[in-house]
Structure 1
Amino acid sequence: MGLSCANDVATPLLDQVKSPDDLKRMDRNALCRLAGELRDETLRIVSETGGHLGSSLGVIELTVALHTIFDAPKDTIIWDVSHQCYPHKILTGRRERMRSLRKKNGLSGFTRRLESAFDPFGAAHSSTSISAGLGFATARDLKGEDGHVVCIIGDGAMSAGMAFEAMNNAGMSNRPLIVILNDNDMSISPSTGALTNHLAEIRKGAEAVAGNLFSNFGFDYRGPLDGHDLDALLAVLGELKSRTGGPVLLHVRTRKGAGYGPAEQAADKYHGVNPFEVTTGIQQKIQAKAPSYTKVFADALIAEAKVDNRIVAITAAMASGTGVDRFAATFPERAFDVGIAEQHAVTFAAGLAASGMKPFCAIYSTFLQRAFDQIVHDVALQQLPVRFAIDRAGLVGADGPTHAGAFDILYLANLPGFTVMAASDEAELVHMVATAAAHDQGPIAFRFPRGEGTGTPLPAQGELLPIGKGRIVEQGSQIALLSFGTRLGECLKARRLLALEGYSVTVADARFAKPLDTALLADLVENHVMLVTVEEGSTGGFGALVLHHLANRGMLDGRCAIRTLTLPDTFIAQASPEDMYEEAKLTARHIAAAARTGAIPVRTSADLRRSARAGQQELPARLHRAEDR
């Protein structure tokens, strides 16, 4: 480093910073001390709140240099993914609110346009910054304005196809655009692929490497540069600010977790952290009552792979998050981390399936959205038996709406030939892994949530579920609660609440959104006066499929009132999962309230049902009386 940046406990310089303008009044020595204070402050905040630590510590000097040289928000600074944005938030007037990070009504863990003018573009998924930056630069030029556009993208995010598409367009446009490649050999897991190897070769040969990839894309390549050398960063960024001409790429080398020993030594474990003790780095352990769904999936897949050598596992830079790392430890040659490239992951899986293998494509619901065209064109249209293991289904808590698994039921169950399942507990998940492994008649998906299971005993081995068949969990005679996914537990709680009021309630586990269990649906509609469907997905999903089926069969004739409970038609801000589901009105008390709107206590329901079937007009009056209560 050019200067020695000591980490003092006190923050006298940081205390003076209310906006980036305050940095511009500091000399180089003061800025270096400020960087030390900013690192300490970031460390203290995340030790209390949890969150993305290693990535934020890795860009301390870069953040200070950017806000010293450039004039945000007039100059546009875009952080790719933005899990490294905590120091940026501290320097842009949000320091006092940082301990509300990732909490209900608090600061987002990512950049968010509604939060600050210094966040010009929201992000939480990777590889969007160059595309957005080129959009900002083009708008600037078309409007005849000035100002700089700076995109900061990691080496992991740079591996995604969208980043290459953007570079191809930016190089052709020849518009002024600054891209900073933050190269630390990591995304969440260690970076993989040919680009990683190429960057390593550049680092070995420094600028003497001829014809590097970025120059061939039409970028003026600079670097590699020590991303923790504040003197060097200030000098080079100052030069780039005064530069004219087309796009430039500055390659900086950083260390994830820089300045904090535990994070530097275990960058993957300190990417996202629970609250921790700063002096030791020991994170708070949440006492799990049951194994996580992710672990249950991984172990079930390993068990299936031991008896079927055609089973392979694919992930897109989320090996630990999806449990594929556990699979890889047992079957290293049958596990594939393709990098941040969900589109490629899906079509790669399609090729494997077309060749007779049994690929399990393990991707978070929110990230699988990025590969929708490949799911349609390369998998569904060809009826290839790709198995989709969809982790993080439903609401996920502190990561907020960008990571919520809200839409996969909708975008998969409406595709011809797709089989779509949702596990109601961890035992059901084991059965669904086995069912998917044995399913060769087309694509099949199963979804499961983040976090620990319910404590349900796990079977010794998975059983094959009859395709398109649900199950009755509790039998009643008046209200039917039909759950798709892990809201089944809340439905059972709602049944107990309703039983105290004299209602007789059936609880059923749909298991399948496609194909629907039409016999089960007919039974529930014909033998109950109220049916409530419950799912951890958006409108247009399971409930809509149920209504569509019943309407086409002439079964929406008023004999059974029907309500569909889904995630609301809005993006729910970060909070605890419990608070988020309360806001979504998918808890037991809300399910019970929905059921009450179409039923009255069991002592008279049989008479009303008989009279309704006889063509009398009791049902509308009954609904009216129930809603008035």
Structure 2
Amino acid sequence: MRSCRSETRHAGCARSRTWWCNGKPDMELLKTINSPADLRKLGRTQLKPLAGELRAFLLDSVSKTGGHLSSNLGTVELTIALHYVFNTPEDRIVWDVGHQTYPHKILTGRRDRMHTLRQLDGISGFPRRDESEYDTFGTAHSSTSISAALGMALAARTKGEHRHAIAVIGDGAMTAGMAFEALNNAGVCSDVNLLVILNDNDMSISPPVGALNRYLARLLSGKFYAAAKNVGKQVLPGPMLELAKRLEEHAKGMVMPATMFEEFGFNYIGPIDGHDLDALVPTLQNLKNLRGPQFLHVVTKKGQGYKLAEADPVLYHGPGKFNPAEGIKPAASGKLTYTQVFGDWLCDMAAHDRRLVGITPAMREGSGMVQFEQRFPDRYYDVGIAEQHAVTFAGGLACEGLKPVVAIYSTFLQRAYDQLIHDVALQNLDVTFALDRSGLVGADGATHAGNYDIPYLRCIPNMVLMAASDENECRQMLSTAYEYKGPAAVRYPRGAGIGAAVDKGLGTLPFGKGEVRREGKGIAILAFGTMLAPSLEAAGALNATVANMRFIKPLDVDLVRQLAQSHDALVTVEEGALMGGAGSAVAEALAEAGIVKPLLHLGLPDKFIDHGDPAVLLSQCGLDAKGIEASIRKRFDKGEPRLVVNN
């Protein structure tokens, strides 16, 4: 194998046996692996060099496309070991969250398509059942793997099929209640072929992993240990058996945190070094021969093998394109993102009102709360990947007179819908929801798109919902929601706005009122949120009126009636699901008022929208200026009644 000529130029060379030279990674072994069946033909001694090649290829590929990096660098050896030991895809591997599956994709026939990662018509950044038979379950939200794998294991038992189901879950995902619900269920299934692997890449393990732990893991996963426990159950009388169990638990508890998982009914193994193939492979081979629920605890390092990512795994969690030899460079300052607008507002409002507390379900950086945590640590709560708890926890704080602000992605609030209705809205508690990533999100695709918050929020009594059209309006809406005495949400998109100047004050908007932004004739466009800018552009070609509706609930019914009475037709435009969305609210208002008027709804169609550049996706949905204009002309140039629009 070729060696890298410059260890100082190429970060991480010392940690990997292979790297890339002259800008290209070595792939002497990797290029022969087109499926796990090819991997299983290799000798054990070839796995370590393969891991080096895979890590180098992964870094080279992601640096060109952008995507999740730190987590994938950390799962290289574990991925190799799993596909080497288990008969995939016959044996099912369910990867939790799914952003750690790039090595899995590379080894399962998608190496030559990695250059299309997260791009339009390219492969997904998460497991997808329709992409590969090796992607056994679609996972992009956290903490679902154990439930899905248990279902697969029990289905195999029911059908009389002999296969294994493996759930790979991170320590962060283990903070969610759903993971423990699944453990609780699985622990009573004593004859199921289920293996749960805890990929621990954050917690500090004591004692340190090493030769002793490797020995213990192999011993405890071996047939002798399992047989000894079974013999003990058969031959020891009741009191002595109970004493033996206690001694066993005490001995194992001295060297590993086994007790909790074994109380759930699992046989706990570990912790072992998740980058040590000499420990991983034999341990997995032993576990493969055991019956019943097994729990393997592996310790990995985010960013493994690339020193810059090891030093700052958060920065390299989901980078854009960058030069691996130089690392990520600070982006040139430009337009404020909506997330930054929220983060600035949160700090300013917290300085103004000591009752404010900020809550995030494990999304401090993504939701723009880093500065808030630094300035107001006593009022900052990261509850882990536990959206249900986050919402009810906020309700409890509100009961005692505090003013909780829950910063949460639109797609993740879906996971706490019952708590939103029952624990907050039903009791009309004063909780503010900052809904980041509302609308299309681009490269993360359908699993992360915030397409549904308008329909699922506007149907809830007591709920207030606003949609920001620019950065300054976002700040004003956050203040308006905060001052409202009840549950209120502000939806805003991912990324930068239009470059509007942001007033640093804490002023609010007239409650429940929209505004006319352009006077025209014939057609009135009712724009919600980010659709204001393209609607204004389209209206210029049509000489149409444009209203910035601002409030989805309560809808400005007076403005809707006024526009209906003074125009021949109405058009609603929203970056959200059409079914039950803001346009539906307008139609309901017109019906209640007994107003019959031609009405065109524009928004996101009734289908899941794949990953790709957001501007391209919006264009494909007809939600850019040209698309809005074209849809209006198509409907009203030739429709009934015939309306004349300007050419």
TM-score, scaled to structure 1: 0.90
Q: Residue in 1 aligned with 2:309?
A: 263
Once the two structures are superposed, the pairs formed by residues 128-527 of structure 1 within 5 Å of their partners are 128-174=144-190, 175-185=192-202, 208-209=255-256, 212-244=259-291, 246-283=292-329, 285=331, 287=332, 289-440=334-485, 442-498=486-542, 504-527=543-566
Pair 1:288–1:595, CA change in 2 (3 A): farther
Secondary structure, counterpart of 1:329 in structure 2: helix
Q: Which amino acid aligns with 1:72?
A: T
Pairing 1:622–2:645 present: no
In structure 2, do the counterparts of structure 1 residues 284 and 301 end up closer, same or farther at CA, with 3 Å as the change threshold?
Answer: closer
Percent identity of equivalent pairs: 51
1:593 deviates by 2.2
1:400-432 deviations in whole A, cap 9, x for unaligned?
Answer: 110100001111111011110011000001101
State the aligned residue count.
Answer: 585
2:206 and 2:442 map into 1 onto residues whose CA distance is 37
CA distance in 1, matches of 2:41, 2:91: 18
In the alignment, the residues of structure 2 paired with residue 506 and residue 252 of structure 1 have an alpha-carbon distance, to the nearest angstrom, of 61
CA deviation profile, 1:249-283 (whole Å, cap 9, x unmatched): 10000000000000000011111111111112225
1: CA distance between counterparts of 2:253 and 2:409? 37
Structure 1 window deviating more from structure 2 (201-210 vs 398-407): it is 201-210
Change (3 A) 1:210 1:13: closer
CA displacement, residues 99-127 of structure 1 (integer Å, 9 cap, x when unaligned): 00000000000000000000010111100
Which letter maps to 1:459?
Answer: D
2:106 is the counterpart of 1:61: no
Whole-angstrom distance in 1 between the partners of 2:529 and 2:581: 12
Separation of aligned partners in 1, 2:90 and 2:142: 24
Residue 373 of structure 2 aligns to a residue in which SS? helix
User: Is the CA contact (8 Å cut-off) linking 1:413 and 1:513 kept in structure 2?
Assistant: yes
Q: Give CA deviations for 1:507-527 in whole Å, capped at 9, x if unaligned.
A: 111111111101100111000
Q: What do residues 268-316 of structure 1 show as CA deviations (whole Å, max 9, x unaligned)?
A: 111111111111222584x553111000111012111111000111000
Question: 1-side partners of 2:327 and 2:306: how far apart?
Answer: 9
C-alpha offsets along residues 433-466 of structure 1, whole Å, 9 cap, x if unaligned?
11122111x2000000000121111113132212
How far apart, CA to CA, are the structure 2 residues paired with 1:513 and 1:493?
Answer: 22
CA, structure 1 residues 521+388, in 2 after alignment: closer, same or farther (shift >3 Å)? same
Which amino acid in 2 is paired with 1:282? I
- Structure 2 gaps of 5+ residues are 1-13, 21-25, 214-251
Match of 1:406, SS state, is coil
The aligned counterpart of 2:631 is: 594
Compute the displacement of 1:178 (Å). Answer: 0.2
* CA–CA separation in structure 1 for the residues paired with 2:568 and 2:180: 56
On the 8 A contact 1:4/1:32 being kept in 2, the answer is: no
1:251 and 1:206, CA in 2 relative to 1: closer, same or farther beyond 3 A?
Answer: farther
Q: How far apart in 1 are the matches of 2:529 and 2:555?
A: 14
What letter corresponds to residue 622 of structure 1 in structure 2? R
The letter of the residue matching 1:513 is I
Q: Distance in 1 between matches of 2:75 and 2:117?
A: 18
The AA in structure 1 aligned to 2:441 is V
Deviations 1:486-525 (A, max 9, x none): 1111101111222xxxxx3111111111111011001110
Equivalent residue number for residue 138 of structure 2: 122
Q: Given the alignment of the two structures, is residue 44 of structure 1 paired with residue 81 of structure 2, yes or no? A: no
Residue 208 of structure 1 deviates from its aligned partner by 2.7
Ranges in structure 1 where 5+ consecutive residues have no aligned partner: 186-195, 499-503, 602-618
In 2, the alpha carbon distance for the partners of 1:621 and 1:103 equals: 42
- Structure 1 Cα separation of the partners of residues 613 and 254 of structure 2: 48
Matched-pair contact (CA < 8 Å) for 1:52–1:272: yes
TM-fit CA distance, 1:5:
5.5
Q: Which amino acid aligns with 1:454?
A: I
Q: What is the alpha-carbon distance in structure 1 between the residues aligned to residue 572 and residue 534 of structure 2?
A: 12
Aligned-partner SS, 1:322: coil
Q: Which residue of 1 aligns with 2:587?
A: 547
The answer to whether residue 71 in structure 2 is matched with residue 24 in structure 1 is no
What residue number does 1:6 align with? 17
Contact 2:267 2:294 in 1 (8 A): yes
Q: Could you tell me whether the CA contact under 8 Å between 1:471 and 1:508 is conserved in 2?
A: yes
Aligned equivalents of 1:395 and 1:129: distance in 2?
A: 25
> How far does the alpha carbon of each residue in 1:150-178 deviate from its partner, in whole angstroms, 9 at most, with x for none?
11000000110100000000002222200
Residue 536, structure 1, aligned to residue 575, structure 2: yes
SS at match of 1:172: coil
- 1:574 aligns with 611
Relative to structure 1, the CA distance from residue 339 to residue 621 in structure 2 (aligned partners, 3 Å threshold; closer, same or farther) is closer
Q: Is the 8 A contact 1:561 1:598 kept in 2?
A: no
| Cα distance in 2, alignment partners of residues 408 and 146 from structure 1 | 42
Aligned mates of 1:35, 1:206 — CA distance in 2: 33
Structure 1: distance between partners of 2:625 and 2:260: 55
Shift of 1:212: 2.3
Q: Given the alignment of the two structures, is residue 113 of structure 1 paired with residue 115 of structure 2, yes or no?
A: no
Contact 2:387 2:416 in 1 (8 A): yes
Q: What is the deviation of 1:479?
A: 1.2
Amino acid at match of 1:389: A
Name whichever of 147-156 and 275-284 sits farther off. 275-284
Worse-superposed segment, 272-281 or 313-322:
272-281
Q: Which amino acid aligns with 1:549?
A: A
Partner Cα distance (2:619, 2:437) in 1: 18
SS at match of 1:536: strand
Distance 1:15 1:460 in 2: 55
Tell me, what secondary structure is at the counterpart of 2:640? helix
Separation in 1, partners of 2:127, 2:452: 22
Q: 2:609 is matched by which residue type in structure 1? A: I
Q: Aligned-pair distance for 1:72? A: 0.6
Residue type matched to 1:337 in 2? D
